Structure 1
Amino acid sequence: MKDSGTKKKIMIVDDFEESCQLMVEILSSEFECHYVCQAEKALELIHALKPHLIIMDYKMPYVTGVELCKIIKDAPSLRHIPIIFISGAVSSDERIETLESGGDDFLSKPFHPKELMLRVKKRLQSYALESISQLKVGNLKMNLNSRQCFLDNQEVVLTPKQFETLKLLIENRNQAVSRQLFMTEIWGHADVTQRNVDSQINYLKKKINGFIGQISSVPGFGYRLDGE
């Protein structure tokens, strides 16, 4: 399982090792593939690897695919990862259950190798397009196309400068952003001072009160948004 450094990472969770190896064989020409056969160990590996997509068996002992999917979708740092369920002989109700738990797609066994490859590529492309138009951190989401901001799915009305301020913070999450960068990126060449930046940040923090992350001051430098 060679890491090219540029390939998208796929995590396969299936209690049958032969199934895992078959999917690795199909996908490894275009993706960096990893697998785990114990669902109860999968979460730790997913946190460590941060895959771009997860392929998960529906029926597994100890922890079912649906149970694991719910745990993943409840984790702020993992919930964005697309999940394709894969299994044989499941009912319509079971398929619906996988979607209700947060699954993005379902593929029945036995499957054609080309169909598996196409499903994976389609999900990765859809996620890439969504990522371009949206920024997410914790319980906060920004739609860059409609220029709307949502906190716990409730819209927060921001001024244009507050929107751009928050966007810059999220794009640089967990990193300090200098006041000078705010002034350059948001105000351009307008006649502003660092006090303008501080005011915008203070107003912004009040509007997104309830954000599960944190916007904090970096003394003598600027601000940092921390969150997953």
Structure 2
Amino acid sequence: MNKVVIIDDLVDSCSVISEILSPYFECKSTSESHSALDLILEFKPNIVLMDYQMPRVNGAELCKSLKENPATKDIPIIFMSGVATEDERVETLELGGDDFIAKPFHPKELILRLKKRIQGYTVKPPIDNHAVIANVNASTLAVGNLKMNLNSRLVYVNEREITLTPKQFEILKLLIENQNHLVSRSTFMEEVWGHFEVTPRNVDSQINYLKKKIEGFQGIITAVPSFGYRLDYKM
């Protein structure tokens, strides 16, 4: 059974959500956001469901800590809130959040969103080392001085390791796979964010972060006004 960590400063909310999810997931919850990281490291959940506005350590701060920790950076995060502004919702995406659900929510919607996000991040079984060596080209994307390992999800520019969020990794992968061809914003929204209510602004924001992180890359990520982006690289 897939595992969920629920983080909400209201104890009653934790109890209600746990009751909704327990027939479908193994749940653990905490109302102490400052100790949530320890719970996540110990429980090793498939997904984290957290409130956005919490005392001491808010959702944005906790998300940032999770995405910076190698042991938790790939765990999907769904935020929930009844009062978050549009800018705050955008902030959760920029920090690496995978979805946002408004309170009050329909139990079935919450369950379906959790299942979809877990499905998208299912851990693959170990790959035989000999198969990796024999199929190295299929597991590695390279453009000029930039390399992406699709198995380890490591990215390098001039052998310098680059830390990307899961969404930034998928954006870069799409650009490299479509090198010198336009990738529309709608394609990014569908392939990277799935069904989530994302806007072109989210795409632009993540690509701006990505361009800063891969500084020194010999190629160029070019914006095509009103359409999307293209990764240009010439030998």
State the TM-score, normalized to the length of structure 1: 0.58
Q: Is 1:154 the counterpart of 2:159 in the alignment?
A: no
Paired residue total = 149
Question: Is the 1:133–1:145 contact (alpha carbons within 8 Å) kept by the matching residues of 2?
Answer: no
CA drift at 1:145? 9.1
CA distance in 2, matches of 1:144, 1:28: 41
> Are 2:89 and 1:104 aligned?
no
Larger radius of gyration: 1
Counterparts of 1:106-145 in structure 2, within 5 Å, are: 106-128=100-122, 131-132=123-124
| Aligned partner (choices 87, 90, 109) of residue 93 of structure 1 | 87
Residues 128-207 of structure 1 mapped to structure 2, 5 A cutoff: 128=122, 131-132=123-124, 146-148=138-140, 154-155=146-147
Query: Which of the numbers 16, 25, 32 marks the counterpart of 1:22?
Result: 16
Aligned to 1:57: 51
The residue matched to 1:66 in structure 2 has which SS?
A: helix
Whether 2:3 is the aligned partner of 1:9: answer yes
- Residues 15-37 of structure 1: CA deviation (Å, up to 9, x unaligned): 00111111111110011000010
Classify the secondary structure of the residue corresponding to 1:155: strand
Query: Residues 37 and 145 from structure 1, CA distance in 2 versus in 1: closer, same or farther, beyond 3 angstroms?
Result: farther
RMSD: 3.3
Compared CA separation, residues 110 and 100, structure 1 to 2 (3 A) = same
For residue 90 of structure 1, report the CA deviation from its aligned partner: 1.4
1:75 aligns with 2:88: no
- 1:75-134 Cα deviation digits (max 9, x unpaired): 011001000000102111110011111100000000001111011011011112xx4499
Pair 17,144 (structure 1): closer, same or farther in 2 beyond 3 Å: farther
- Between the aligned residues of both structures, percent identity stands at 47
CA distance in structure 1 between the partners assigned to 2:57 and 2:18 by the alignment: 22
Q: Aligned partners of 1:112 and 1:209: how far apart in 2?
A: 47
Offset of 1:154 from its aligned partner?
3.1
SS of match in other structure, 2:121: helix
8 Å CA contact 1:57–1:85 kept in 2: the answer is: yes
Aligned residue identity for 1:87:
S
Q: Secondary structure at the match of 2:36?
A: helix
